[in-house]
Amino acid sequence: MTGAWPPPGVAVARAPDPADASPLDIDTDLVRTWLVQFLREEIERRRGFRRVVVGLSGGVDSALTAALCAEALGPEAVLALLLPYRTSSPWSREHALLVAKKFGIPTRTIDITRAVDGYLDEFEPEAGGHRRGNVAARQRMIVLFDQAFKLSALPVGTGNKAERLLGYYTWHADDSPPVNPLGDLFKSQVWALARAIGVPAEVVDKPATADLIQGQTDEEDLGVTYPEADLILHHLISGLGPDDLVEAGFERRKVELVAGRLEGTHWKRHLPTVAMLSPTAIGEWYLRPVDY
C-alpha cells in the first residue's frame, strides 16, 4: 500500500496532553441558555411545579444552581434553604446570603444541629467526623424534601459531574433531588459558568469543601485537584485507559487514584439493584419509552 498516512479525510486522535485543558472548555452562553431551558422544561412542563427549593451551602455548586433556577423560574419561585450544623463555617452562611442577595432569592435558615445530635449523641456518641458528616448530609435532605412538600415545590440538586464520577458525595443525600442542572458539568466547567453568570468571586474562588468537617477541603480528601481530576475523568470516560494516560505523561498515582474511584463507585450512580423475578422488574427491565 502506498500513499500518505493518514489518508486524506481520516482523522487520527492526538495523544492527550496533561497540560491541555481545552477538552473541558465550554461555550458558557450556550450552556447557560440550555440549562435555563432544561429547568423550565423539567420543572414546569414535565412535572407541573411552579416553585423549587435549593440547599444553599455557600459553595459554588449550590450558588450556580440557585442562580440558574432564579433565571429560569424567577427569583420569587426559588427558596434557598440554609441548613447549618454546629461545625459549619460562619463564612458558609455569609457566602450563601451574598449569593441570595445578588440574585434576589428569598432564604430560610433551619439549623440541623439538634436533629443530628439528637440521634448521634444519644445513640452513637462514638461516631467520628465522617459518620457525623454523612448524618448531617442526609438530615439536610430530610429538611429539603419536607420543605418542598410543604410548599408544593420541587427539590433541585446541586452535584457536579466530577463529584458524581468520583463518588464523592453522601449516597441518598446530595444526589437525591430529582432534577440536577449541573450533573453533566465538571467542576472546572462549573467554575467557568459561575463566573460568566456573575456568582460572587468570594464563592467561586474559595477552596471547595463539603463543610461537614472543620478544616476539610475536597481536594485534600481526594488527593488530586479538581482540574487534574476533571481532565483525567474526561479522557477515561471518552475511552482511554489508565495506561494510555500514564504513557501520555499523566502522573500514575493520580490516574490510578481517579480511575480507582471511578470504577469503585458505579453503585452510587444507580438506583438500588433489584433482584429480577419477572420481565417487568422496574428499572432493571421494564422501562417506558421516556425512560430510555
CA distances (Å), origin 100, targets 10, 63, 68, 178: 51, 8, 12, 22
Residues 109 and 20: their CA atoms lie apart, in Å, by 42
Position 269 scores a pLDDT of 87
Position 290 scores a pLDDT of 53
Residues 6+ apart with CB under 8 A from 128: none
Position 4 scores a pLDDT of 47
Q: What are phi and psi of 234, to 5 degrees?
A: -55, -45
Residues 129 and 258: their CA atoms lie apart, in Å, by 23
Dihedral sign for Cα 232, 195, 44, 145, please.
positive
Position 169 scores a pLDDT of 93
Position 284 scores a pLDDT of 65
CATH code at 22-221: 3.40.50.620
Low-confidence ranges of the chain (pLDDT < 70): 1-13, 211-215, 283-292
Position 274 scores a pLDDT of 78
Which H or E element spans position 285? none
